[in-house]
Amino acid sequence: MKRILLILTIFSINFATSQKADLTSAILAFQKNDLTSSKKWIDIANEKILNGQSLKPKVQSKFYYYKGQIYLKHFQLAISDTLLELDFNLLDIASEAFILDVNLESAFSKKSIIELNRCAYLYVDYAYKDYENKDFSTAGQKFTKAIYINQNPIIGKVDTVNMYNASLMAFSSGDYITSVKWSNELIKVNPLDKRYHIQLIDSYHEMGELDNQLISIKEARNVLPSSKDIIFKEVNFYLATGDNSLLKESLDNAIKSDSTNPILFFALGSTYAQLNELDNAKEAYLSAISLDPNYFDAYNNLASLYLDQTIPLIDKKNSLDYSQDKEFNKLSKKINNLYLKTIPYLEQALILQSTNTNIINALKEIYYKVDDIKNMKNMKAMLDMSDEDKNNFVIKLFSLQNE
């Protein structure tokens, strides 16, 4: 019996010595930049471990560190040599080896952390390249691998940037379940970032899960009550479901709780506009402006209220034949009146954003249609000005008109 135990002990020592020799050969080859031999020897040592051999912790740490180094070097070789195929399995194996070493918290662990950061950077770098090539699913997988590296307890980094990227990639590839998962994780980390809530709401919308969509909207409104984007998500939800009473009730309650918030009145105005309740829309927009005289969007939307009303009148006018002069003149007068009501709001919008080409073009067209040729030419001239000149011109133009 003692002889058998002695034989087994000698066999075990020889096997471990052989395995250590394989590791030494791999390290020496790696240090000589002989990547082919280093990979061969590290794979032999790895195979022995898979077959049940064990290493002392110190040797084990060295094995994982150099296995990671060798596989990472093979991956990086393909980056510099375009003739070689870029095999991300090599980067996966390298990352896994470094993680195993880091978890041992041994002499090599600090070096492995540095290499893990390099691996995470490579995953992210190529994730962005996949994104640029519109391969959203593969990009998401790479962002996820970077996240898991950074989440390692030894590193302890909460990687919100790549978590958000992973959520966006999942959404873009149609994997809404994964997008929901990352969005929920992000909201736990920072519930005050509206992007995370919007991503969650949009994912539930795409999944057709109306109950969860509404729950996520209400939770977002609770923590971000003044967010215009979240308010509009709620508005659009009720518009899509046709529940106008709840829509108005929601906005009315929001305004009651924050009656000095111009954003809420703006949202109410936009809601009334979509419901074609134009007088109410106008009143709400004017309330927003009374609270914030520099509210560009409110002026712009007020102008749109009147411009939108011209569309059916113009269509009707264009359908008339030459014998209907009376009706033609009547419609022309109505259209012109609407244009005249539009002008003050567009002018105020231009004062606030003098470089806004859309506003300049809109005013140019409307001035022309109401026969204000002088101002039409002013707007035409503005289109060719620098931003600084536009600003100075607008100040001078409207100050003269107000004298």
Q: pLDDT in tens for each of the 403 residues of the chain?
A: 554 444 444 344 444 455 577 788 888 888 888 888 988 988 888 888 777 666 776 788 889 999 999 999 999 998 888 888 899 999 999 999 999 999 888 888 889 999 999 999 999 999 999 999 999 999 999 999 999 999 988 888 999 999 999 999 999 999 999 999 999 999 999 999 999 999 999 999 999 999 999 999 999 999 998 888 898 898 889 888 888 778 888 888 778 878 898 988 998 898 889 888 999 999 999 999 999 999 999 999 999 999 999 999 999 988 888 778 888 889 999 999 999 999 999 999 999 999 999 999 999 999 999 999 999 999 999 999 999 999 999 988 887 665 5
Using the 3D structure, point to which of 135, 167, 200 is the last residue of a domain: 135
Structurally, the chain folds into a number of domains equal to 2
User: Across 279-331, where does the E strand assignment appear?
Assistant: none
Q: Residue 308 falls within a domain, yes or no? A: yes
Rounded to the nearest 5 percent, the helix, strand and coil shares of the chain are 80, 0, 20
Q: Please list, residue by residue across 184-197, b when 16 or more beta carbons sit within 10 angstroms of its beta carbon and e when fewer do.
A: ebbbeeeeebbebb
Q: Residue 76 falls within a domain, yes or no? A: yes
Using the 3D structure, point to which of 135, 152, 180 is the last residue of a domain: 135
Q: What pLDDT does residue 314 have? A: 92
Q: What pLDDT does residue 213 have? A: 97
CB 117 within 8 A of CB 131: no
Phi-psi sector, 394: left (phi>0), alpha (psi -120 to 50), beta:
alpha
Using the 3D structure, point to which of 135, 164, 199 is the last residue of a domain: 135
* φ/ψ (deg, to 5) at 22: -60, -45
* φ/ψ (deg, to 5) at 105: 50, 50
**Most distant CA pair in the chain, distance:** 122
Q: Residue 166 falls within a domain, yes or no? A: no
Q: What pLDDT does residue 334 have? A: 95
Q: What pLDDT does residue 19 have? A: 55
CB 257 within 8 A of CB 225: yes
Phi-psi sector, 17: left (phi>0), alpha (psi -120 to 50), beta:
alpha
Q: What pLDDT does residue 255 have? A: 84
- Domain residue limits at 32: 18-135
Comparing C-alpha atoms, which of 297, 302, 329 is closest to residue 313? 329
CB 69 within 8 A of CB 116: no
What sign does the CA torsion over 274, 275, 279, 283 have?
Answer: negative
CB 179 within 8 A of CB 203: yes
Q: Which amino acid is at 346?
A: L
Tokens standing for 161?
Answer: 């940037």
Q: Say if pTM beats, i.e. exceeds, 0.85.
A: no
Q: Residue 355 falls within a domain, yes or no? A: yes
User: Across 75-175, where does the E strand assignment appear?
Assistant: none
